[in-house]
Chains A and B, each alone.
Chain A
Amino acid sequence: MNKNFFEVKNVDFNINSKTKVRDVNFSIENQGDVICLLGPSGIGKTTILRTIAGLEKIKKGSIILNGKTLSSKKINLEPEDRNISLAFQDNSLFPHYTVKKNILLGSEKNKEKKDKKISLDEIVELLDISKILSKYPHEISAGEAQRASLARSLIMQPDLLLLDEPLSNVDQSFKEEIQVRLKKILNKLKITTIIVTHDSYEAFYLGSKCGIILNQELKQFDDPYKVYHFPNSVEVVNFLNRGILIPAKVTGKNTLENWDLGTIEGNFIREYPEGSDVQLLLQPEDLEHDDTSNLKLEVVDRKFRGTNFIYTLKTPSNTLIPVFVHSHHIHQHEVDEKFGIKRPIHIDHIVCF
């Protein structure tokens, strides 16, 4: 039997007797894997982490770490007995200790660990917090406090690390660099980690698997690539804000027909009988601009996004379609002008509902 390192089985996650997320199932196969949970604010992501850490109880299902049941209807191991570390989103450093003392408190528990993989100095350097070590929590910024809190959790080298929006307060300019460093540390220490975030790019970068939580359910739990390209429900599509759904008819094994766009070719990720009516997911990168094409749509809006423009085009049946165009494209199209789309339209993965 395949034994997972960490498992959540049929758990209802509750806070103040209210169920936030129902009947959740997911697992982490190997020690050292990093997974991410994505979802809008207030959906219950933090509740999931708090429950796994032992700060909230469950009435249904079970949570198992390394073969040991941490939580179930009957069992509830105290937080201090789990060797799980949770880095809170908000500053939870001890206000009366310096940053250094705060971090060292994390290492106390693992003093007996012989195979220490990381020292205070290494962690300080990796998270770039050497300048704030002698300061008190109220003397540092929210982003610095978050990194200090992260350092405290990492130095514990717990069996399971839970990070709640770990970089939400870190400056945008510094965020990507910290993401790279964090990934490096987690790989090096082989700490199994669950990261909660509302930033899909952060989740796709850091996690080997991503879970999407919407409407009180874990809607999809899969590789980031699959979540992105093969969303399994309309809700996931809407959440990732990846495009629009347009009506189409399946006309063959690899083709569909849309009233406005004509024939669309590609590989269906699921099979549909010929002649069936479907909703086709059209993402901004699926259409290509071609000035010479005879398929012309009206530009209703244009947004500059640095490397890209996103054009919003209106079809004859008044559907609005987003299209990416590289910002170095030779000329720009103004609102009300016509915009050519290359035909035949080819989409690598055809996602329909």
Chain B
Amino acid sequence: MRINFWYISSFIISIFVIIPILTVFSSFFESTSNYYQVLKDTFLMEYIFNSLILLVSVLIITFLIGTGSAYLVSFFNFPFSNFFKWALILSFAVPPYIYAYSLTAFFENYGTAYTILKNLFGEGNYNQSIPKFDGLLGAVLSISFSLYAYVYILARASFLYQSQNIIDLGKNLGLTKLKALYSIILPAARPAIVAGLSLVAMETLAEFGAVDFFSINTLTTGIYNSWIAFDDLAFANRLSFFLLLFIFAVFILENLSRKNAKYHFNTKAGFKQKEKIQLSGKKAFLAFSFCFFVFFLSFLFPLSQMMYWTIKFPENLFDLNALDLLANTLYLVTLSSLMLIIFGLISNYGNRVNKNKTLNFLSTLSISGYAIPGVILAVAFITFIAWFDNSLVKNLGFVSIKKVFIGSILGLVIVYFIRFYSLAYNGIKSGYEKINISVDESSYLLGYSKRKTFMNIHIPFLRNSLLFVGILVSLEIIRELPITLILRPFNFETFATTAYISASEDLLEAAAVPSLFLILIATFFIIVTSKYILRDNNE
């Protein structure tokens, strides 16, 4: 095999992304402080128990509202069904920690709910009768309403490709709508639903902001605390190892459960466009109510709560240096997305032209970075840099380079890169899969070199995919909290970190303004990309 520029580049990019994963695994064999023993005897079981409860509850709720709303908008016509089709993905704009702030702000003693009741019915002791959504319940609700859209998008896409033929077949067999849903529609959409739930599972296990806000001890917060409070990197890594095992177990279970079943249909032959059923009267009202309820709770509620506070305490708006935060956020977003797109493209092309097993294996391994929670990645990065720096200083007598990577924009962007690399890589890959290999071959035969084929043929073709990937990555970075929190330079804040810091100082009103900005920017990005996220055909 000939080693070329594309091979070497792809190889280096993959290795670069894999390093933190290897760091986490190797840390399992390192010695830790006494904290490990203390924790093992006391809180470790609580961490695991809480993580499990959180995971199972979130999965159940996201499954019910994600699949339920997707089923309604895919199979039925009812008032505003076309509006809900895309409105239901707006919940992505509200990260779980901001949802958590809204939930607390609304239901807390003398909170928004209290004010509403007071304005309606006058003074009274309402606090006792207002339910409290805090602790584990609060975390479950915050995460569920923020993440159900993963299940919604994938389930809807799968429902969309179900042929009218199988629905007709169900009718022909005499199945009721409910029976058809259980025995035909849901099983056929299973891989998509499970894929959505896997994403939810990973995000839930990795969730830091909301869980930390409600003071729930999970493996993720445990990792953060062992690093912040006990300065025990090795133990943080060891906890990460457990969490990773957890996440890989989810993957393996899902794969095993599929066995050899085939779920997709040949959409070319025998595919019949589905005819949506027109609902009217009570049924239409119920379908509308369900979707509106989900849309209201997931998006309108946190948005209006944050707006309400921003209007109520306008001084926070003026105190906040919004322009600086916007500049910082956009700076990070631009730098990271560019890096992700450029390297994601090169790596994809390297794999495409080389068809090499080693490279393929490395790429597959490198995209598992998304499964690793931000907290772990940040800690693993610091561990690696500390070890690397130490080796350089001790063995080669170099000057310490730690500061170049830790507490710097460079370090932050590198870890974003590792965290979201799979998103960029897979997004570009799905664009690449639409380019038949004979297009490349035609280009070579027209006298174009590999570089020219890449620049003149592939990049123009992938333009839309790249834009989509860029915005998707930007959306993730805007919402991202733990990596930014751990690795940002001194005095460098984003909307996410400002909101978090205010909230952790119990200044929820002050957290409202950056949260509102964050929601609005994210909403803008979602609206721009909604065409791609919800595309109705397989183009």
Interface residues of A (CB under 8 A from B): 50, 53-55, 78-86, 88, 90, 92-96, 105-106, 108-109, 149, 152, 156
Contact = CB atoms under 8 A, between A and B. Distances in A.
Contact of A88 (B442, B446, B449): B442
18 contacts: A80-B444, A80-B449, A81-B447, A82-B445, A84-B445, A85-B446, A86-B445, A88-B441, A92-B438, A92-B439, A94-B439, A94-B457, A95-B439, A105-B446, A108-B446, A109-B446, A109-B447, A149-B442
A149 B444 CA distance: 14
Given A79-B444, A109-B446, A96 B438 contact: no
Contacts of B446: 80, 85, 105-106, 108-109, 152, 156
Given A94-B457, A95-B461, A96-B461, A85 B439 contact: no
B460 interface: yes
A24 B444 CA distance: 25
B442 A83 contact: no
A90 B461 contact: no
A80 B447 CA distance: 4
Max chain A C-beta neighbours (<10 A), residue from B434, B444, B457, B460: B444
A86 B463 CA distance: 27
Contacts of B172: none
Contacts of B443: 94
Nearest to B442: A92
**Which 7 pairs from chain A and chain B are nearest by CB?**
A79-B444, A92-B438, A109-B447, A92-B442, A96-B461, A80-B444, A80-B447
Contact of B447 (A83, A86, A88, A93): A83
B461 A80 contact: no
B129 interface: no
Interface of B: 434-436, 438-439, 441-449, 457, 460-461, 463
Nearest to A138: B539
Contacts of A80: 444-449
Contacts, number: 60
A85 B445 contact: yes
Given A55-B444, A92-B442, A95-B434, 9 more contacts: A79-B441, A79-B444, A86-B442, A88-B441, A92-B441, A93-B442, A95-B461, A106-B446, A109-B447
A96 B441 contact: no
Nearest to B441: A55
Nearest to A102: B442
Contacts of A95: 434-435, 439, 461
A90 B463 CA distance: 24
Contacts of B444: 54-55, 78-80
Nearest to A84: B445
A312 to B, nearest CB: 37
A325 B426 CA distance: 64
Contacts of A88: 438, 441-442
Max chain A C-beta neighbours (<10 A), residue from B439, B445, B463: B445
Contacts of B463: 96
A85 B448 CA distance: 12
Max chain B C-beta neighbours (<10 A), residue from A82, A83, A90, A105: A105
A149 B439 CA distance: 11
A96 B460 contact: yes
A95 B440 CA distance: 12
A80 B448 CA distance: 6
A109 B434 CA distance: 26
Contacts of A84: 445
A92 B461 contact: no
A80 B461 CA distance: 20
Nearest to B436: A92
A151 to B, nearest CB: 13
Contacts of A105: 446
Contacts of A54: 444
A79 B453 CA distance: 12
Nearest to B449: A80
Nearest to A158: B445
A81 to B, nearest CB: 8
B442 A94 contact: yes
A80 B442 CA distance: 9
A156 to B, nearest CB: 7
Contacts of B460: 96
A79 B445 contact: yes
Nearest to A76: B2
Nearest to A109: B447
A85 B444 CA distance: 9
Max chain A C-beta neighbours (<10 A), residue from B435, B442, B444, B449: B442
Contacts of B447: 80-81, 83, 108-109, 156
A106 B443 CA distance: 9
Contacts of B438: 88, 90, 92
Nearest to B438: A92
A82 B444 CA distance: 10
A96 B449 CA distance: 19
Contacts of A106: 446
Nearest to B444: A79
Contacts of A79: 441, 444-445
Contacts of B445: 53, 79-80, 82, 84-86
Given A108-B446, A109-B447, A86 B461 contact: no
A86 B436 CA distance: 15
A88 B437 CA distance: 11
